[in-house]
Amino acid sequence: MDKPRVRFAPSPTGALHIGGVRTALYDYLIAKQQGGAFVLRIEDTDQTRYVPGAEDYIKEALEWVGLVPDEGPGYGGAYGPYRQSERKAIYKEYGEKLIASGNAYYAFDTPEELTAAREASKAAGNHSFKYGAANRAKMRNSTSLPQAEVEQLLADKTPYVIRLKVPTDQTISFDDKIKGVVSFSSNELDDKVMMKADGMPTYHLANVVDDRLMKINLVIRGDEWLSSTPHHVLLYRAFGWGDEMPVFAHLPLILKPSGKGKLSKRDGAKFGFPVFPLSWKGATPEDSFDGFKDFGFDPAAVVNFLAFLGWNPGTEQEIFTLQGLVDAFSLEKVGKSGARFDFEKAKWFNQQYLIAADNGVLAKMVRPLIEKKGHNLSQVFLEKFCGLMKERVMLLPEFWEKGYYFFEAVKEYEGKPIRKKWKPERRAKFETLRESIKAIDNFEADTIETVVKAFVEESELGFGAVLPILRIGVSGTMKGPSIYEIIALVGKEETDTRLATAFDAFDEMKAAV
């Protein structure tokens, strides 16, 4: 095969589902690995479902995860226009070519007539009505009507669609890069509509014509399109392109976390995880969703996670840069069965990226979250904070959620350890510890640790009696980084204030027991 020309062809009908991003990722990896082209094509032939802003959203989402198209609307390229709504004249030409070659026909059936045909089929015990060879002679089309009547209907501008004339008793086979040889009987296929009454093509005609004219030679798409592929093969043959069809690769479904059923756009809101790269604000709250970016994911981690939804390198390695994926990826290692969407695994990937990130880079990512809470700290402070917290969080918002006490007073004390460890009669000794910490000149973690250890030894209380009180007093929780590092970053005055407040609170908690 020549250098791959692959296309990602979403419809601008709303938020870009994560399954679409995975398709775009695999397209991108193949194109970059083999020096090909990654093409973005906007399939907006269904104007009734068109959503303003969706095309810009698609581009923004792709760029956020680093998958910048080589060609497409706004990116340039020699095979445009790349919006199907701007290619209407092209599709009309090819629709007429199908008619002229006898591979398609005009169908004048009204919606009412089609409904009546379906009901009659149902009454006869056939609940899966197909408009095709078995019944096309009974319908109102150019294969069943006299030629003169057809010409008169056309002259009168009677609404019509163009349907593909599917042959009978043929086996339609193609070699799928993932699924192997796939075969369909033509008798199972319906005469699909190629051109609608409004003059716009259906997906089937438009995508075949565009793939041909844009020189697409590898079609990577979701498993749901597998059953449409025999119609596409017939179209290639009808146009005389049968020997030059693109290679097909149908990706396994992305399944719900339970492993049962396809992951839907609404599953994110239902289960509390993102299924879109970016937030999408629809017309109603029910149509509005948060994306991976809003949840606090690093886009590189999202790419890494998506790559493994169906693909495996065959090694133990799990962490890949985008370039690493380009080097390692192959369609031969994409599985045939569905891939379960595991949000916990997605968070694990993100955690690995946070841990590996430079503290300076993390500080810039975290700053907007902290400033939104009303705090404006120095870069040095935020870098130290990120260094202490990054192994304890999985998503960016957790820097604040789990480490807010670095920026403001403790909101709530973890009660159980205090009720167990705090002895009011020992308060005088803890006041001595507080004064010892306040007297430290070199207020660094090592010095603070030395002072606390000396107090533990002199007071004969033991670390188990002292450290929980100190930790909860300053941070409110037993969880978190080294207490000495916390105290050093919180600062001397704030630590002293917090301990004084905490000791009073601990007395009250103990008295209430």
**What is the spatial distance between Cα 161 and Cα 200, in angstroms, rounded to a whole number?**
10
Q: Which of 502, 6, 35, 504 is nearest to 248 (CA)?
A: 6
Q: Which of 162, 200, 193 is nearest to 83 (CA)?
A: 200
CA geometry: angle 451, 455, 458, nearest 5 deg: 135
Antiparallel, parallel or unpaired: β 171-176 and 161-164: unpaired
**What is the spatial distance between Cα 112 and Cα 117, in angstroms, rounded to a whole number?**
9
Q: Across-strand partners of 42?
A: 83
Q: Which of 82, 69, 70 is nearest to 42 (CA)?
A: 82
262 annotated active-site: no
**Strand segments (E) across 272-319:** none
**What is the spatial distance between Cα 6 and Cα 28, in angstroms, rounded to a whole number?**
8
Task: Establish whether the linkage from the previous residue to 277 is cis, with ω within 30° of 0.
Answer: no
Contact 177, 226 (CB under 8 A): no
**What is the spatial distance between Cα 486 and Cα 498, in angstroms, rounded to a whole number?**
12
**What is the spatial distance between Cα 229 and Cα 126, in angstroms, rounded to a whole number?**
24
Count other C-beta atoms under 10 Å from residue 62's C-beta: 24
Q: Where are the alpha helices (DSSP H) in 124-166?
A: 147-155
From the candidates 92, 177, 265, 345, which is the catalytic residue? 265
Q: Which of 310, 278, 314, 281 is nearest to 296 (CA)?
A: 278
Contact 325, 313 (CB under 8 A): no
Grouping H, G, I as helix, E, B as strand and the rest as coil, residue 409 is coil
Residue 104 host element (H or E): strand 104-107
Contact 318, 346 (CB under 8 A): no
**Location of structure tokens 């020992």:** 426
Which residues have a catalytic role annotated? 265
